Amino acid sequence: MNFTSEIWGKIWAKTNRIGLFFAKPHILFYLLPWLMFLTVMGTISQKDIGLYDAVEKYFSSIVLWIGPVPTPGGLATIGILFVSLLIKFVFYSPWSLKKTGIILTHLGVLTLLLGGIVTALSNKEGFMIIPEGRNISTYSDYYNRTLYFKTDGETIKTVSFDNLQVRDQINYDALEIKIIQKCDNCAAKAPDGTYENLQGLAQNMMLYGVKSEIQKEANFSGLTIRVADQKNPDHDGVYIIMEDIQKNPIFKTPKGSVEISLDRQKTELPFAIGLKDFQKIDYSGTRKAREYKSEIIVLDNKNVWPATISMNKPLRYRGYSFYQSSFDQTGENEITVLNVVKNEGRYFPYISTLIIFLGLLTHIIIHLKSKDR
């Protein structure tokens, strides 16, 4: 009995020392300047690497590599701060009526940090390209692309584009497909004789990789594949598959006609957005845009209503936020590009602000009452 008590006493003493270490204010003092550094670097880097990459690199990462040196990313930094303040709040707070205001304020800060963690873990982001006069009900992922095998428009097999490597082989029915070229952002030029037995689009062009665009929606990924058809040798040859290109290779197999296409991962919205009119307002005397503005309509079952999305005025609806990102123009047809964000932690800042306000107000009231006495 004494031996067991001694063991538990040692465990408790060690746990208490660890708790006291994490509850010390020095963790907060060290991590807050680092968090400010991440914020500044993430903001500055948006110009060179784009908003999405900046968020992923500095704010949503566990590890941030500075050259060969691993450092805490934004998610890890906030997580450590949250654990430190949680231990201090639960085990070492002065739980008394006089300290109610301070306790509420600490709870508000914890809620804010928890919201940041939830946002980093659950945040979904993509983009919508909406031509004028069209209604769109899906948004595309910035990074994730998929190789689709479809029969009569129905997807029967998918392969992640990110997982594909040159010399990989994909088998489907009688088809043997080998990846001979892959590029995250592709451009095209005339065939130079590198490949033989060209089929489809490959007869007129070949792909080569170029530098990725800052605006990720402007990148066009592609594959060059070599197909061997065990049932129909006429299909054998080299093909090109590129996203947003409608002329995809189609093969007749024992299981039916199969179309192979490459596209960004799509997410279905519970409503649709239509573009009525896009406006680009330039600075006086220049062609440099001062503001983009999209006049849209939201179509949610039988409910249809208008809205305006501009550079400083997003649309928030049913848990989604839509931001004006960029635009394009093909002839007389204008196209708007909207950034789409689904953030499960969007209410945490409002809740935490209210709790902090109540905490400060309570602290002031208690302090004034104690002075009156």
Q: What pLDDT tens digit does each residue of the chain (373 aa) get?
A: 465 666 777 776 777 777 777 777 888 888 889 999 999 999 898 888 877 788 888 988 899 998 899 999 999 999 999 988 898 888 888 888 888 898 999 999 999 999 988 888 888 888 899 999 899 999 988 878 899 998 887 888 899 998 999 999 999 888 899 999 999 999 999 998 889 899 988 999 999 999 888 777 778 899 999 999 888 888 899 999 998 777 889 888 877 888 999 988 888 999 999 999 888 777 777 767 677 889 999 999 888 999 999 888 899 998 899 998 888 776 677 889 898 988 888 889 999 999 999 999 998 888 887 776 6
pLDDT tens digits, one per residue of 11-27: 767 777 777 777 778 88
pLDDT tens digits, one per residue of 195-245: 989 998 899 999 999 988 877 777 889 999 999 988 888 889 999 999 877
Please state, in angstroms and as integers, the Cα–Cα distance from residue 35 to each residue in 39, 41, 130, 174, 251, following that order.
6, 10, 37, 55, 54
Which regions of the chain carry the CATH code 2.60.98.40? 125-137+267-342
Fold of 125-137+267-342: Tick-borne Encephalitis virus Glycoprotein; domain 1 (2.60.98)
> Hey, what are 180's tokens?
């001979």
Q: Are 321 and 127 in contact (CB under 8 A)?
A: no
Q: Are 309 and 315 in contact (CB under 8 A)?
A: yes
pTM of the model: 0.69
Contacts of range 41-47, beta carbons closer than 8 Å, 24 or more positions apart: 42/74
